[in-house]
Structure 1
Amino acid sequence: MPAPSFARFRSTLLLSAVILVVLSGCAALDDQQTDLPAAGEVEETLTDLEAVNATVVSTLDGTRISTQQTVFEVGTQRRRSTTQTGERGSLVVANDSVTWRYDRAANTVRVTHRIDGEQQSNTSISSSMGSIFGRVNTASDGTEREAALDPLILPAAGGGDPQPFAGQIESFANASLNYHGTGTVAGREAYVVEAVPEADVNTANITLWIDQEWYYPLQWNSTIVVDEERRTVTTVYRNVTFNPAVSAGMFTFDPPANATIVERRVVSQTFETRAELVARSEMTIPDPDVPEPLTFDSARYFDDNGTVRTSLQYTNGSATLRVTKSEPRGDSAALPGDDRVEINGHEAAIQSFDSGISLVWSCEGHRYTVFGDVSVETVRAVGESIDCG
């Protein structure tokens, strides 16, 4: 089998950036240890975590793909990370409004200016870790907790910008949560917890090593399926210092005088109503007919250097449907996949993924997408209700 390339598994490695999965199955203890922290203690401790300094190693099937030396503030965009991928090195420095990405070999600095950028907070990580210990503790008396676990949120590797997993997002609706006692990661004691989805889900077990002092994930392993082969992606934090001293100039960067500078401007905003998005955007916003019990949840505006994407999200508490309108750019105007249907006189592509159904078409210079973990009939009906004028 040929060695995997980093580019091929780039989207897979985003799994270590952030995983949002809701686990609502049973919890069990593999041994009799019940001396575990309470959920409230976990959340309170993580709320006090302000910064992390560590070496982050990513591997695929045991082969090292990248090594990152990083210091970052938890719950903010601020970080400074030097990454070595093969023979190529790069530096990323970010604060709450600007990110510098310096490619030493090319002597190029890509500068991204963020406006109204959204940030991950350590409140979300603390509630996720607290939920894990809450359910494992509940299982210690032989009972099962039927209530859904809070979304499992793993920090971005090296404290980077939170990103959704770019590949197929599996359901995990009937996963079980198992406690496997304690272990060590780079000399630090950790609790070991495993999430096991139902048998027919492509992504297999996710195992977490959670620091016993700060309750922060030190390592996570995930099994994925690529070309019908199971591969293991691992992220490990080594040489960790929690709440290190951070200098005032740590999160700014002065590019070399002879470097090529590439500027980029990104605006990201979330709204509680469709009307707010309509007022913010120059493009017309769809007003789809979405069947009950799905109801409006939020709206989003995203501008990447002048290319605008807007979206409306609907949910019924378990299923989610999203309607997106964007300006196609370059080859992105081509429809994906091979399956074609007609939507209001326009050719559209329909695709089925483990995470839901996607319907895509172009009209009047814009790209429309309806995506959701709902039926094909619902996705098509919503698409047909959209006037692309």
Structure 2
Amino acid sequence: MNRRRILAAGAAVALAGCVTYPDSDTDGEPPSGEELVRNAVETRRHMHDLEARRTMTVETEDETAERVERVARQPPAKQRIEVVESTDPDVPVGAVTVTNRATTWEYNPKTEVVDKQNHPNKVDTDRTRLVLENLLEEYRLSYEGTATVDGRTAHVVETKPPAEDVGPTIDLVVGDTTFVVPLRATADPEAMDVTRTVWIDDEYRYPIREQNTLTIDGETRHELTVTYEDLSIDTGLPPGTFTYEPPADATVETDGRDPAGVFESRTAAEEILPYELPEPDVPDSYVLDRITVVKRAENVGGTTATMWYNDPNVIARELYVAVREYQRFSPDVLEEIDLDGHTAYRRDGRIQSIFWTCGGLSHEVSSLTDDSPLLEIASSVGCP
């Protein structure tokens, strides 16, 4: 099942958190749109898990499609989506998507095929938080009062993108699902108007409903509405929520490298490794989440062990330390730096990294966050 397909319409929505905020400022005035979205960002940063019933309705000039899903998430990496009602021909009733740290399963009951994607060393960003931050930083926000959504009081925030954001395509996110709307093929971009309205739950200060509308010369061409009902936040999820067992009669098609193992401790990982693992000195807020071991094909050779650390109190705040039997980085495109008398290399960008080799092994320390002390962590690993 390809979750990018649904009548070529798009939107972005997040779910609910567990931090409560007052419903107005100290002067009795209603909160501003900026304040509400800023609260939503903070709520998302500390969310542990959620469950909801999600209804998605897409309306175009020619047709309307709707699907209802049961959604369970443990941001940033884990999710389970089960389609319980659908008039979308591309996403039938019974379709299931389950993602955990190492694997994504996608089951299409029409074809009775399960797509299994292995990704043991995938770096997980919190896309929902990034969408909210983009609303706060780039969009024009206006407060439009309150409304009732699923029996809950919600604040209505209308957002308008900067004029230059209306281009040939709009790539928006609903939860962790991406939709793309091809625009330039249908009209002059200067005649387009895109409006995103977000209903932010009063108690949790987090989006519970969203409507995205595309109009051309004043006429509505695409509209996507997403609503969350029966929302449950940080109440815990049943064991096995993010594991999946394919139906007995389904065909399983596999892509990606299957890990040799995923371990909770260095001792367990070292039982199958040809080398010992370092003990990096990471900040106190980080804990060891898992160690993945991946072996390359026999004709290529080489084993990689990756130690993943995260901050359990902040979503998507993680770093990793990798040890490889082969060199994965190219010194020619990196900045050369000194690491306690050894030559190392720095990479800046979406993923910030330090690479170096020692004793026949290649080392890497990487993070998605700017505040990770990569040089200090690399120094603690050193050259064993």
| TM-score, with structure 2 as normaliser | 0.48
Larger Rg: 2
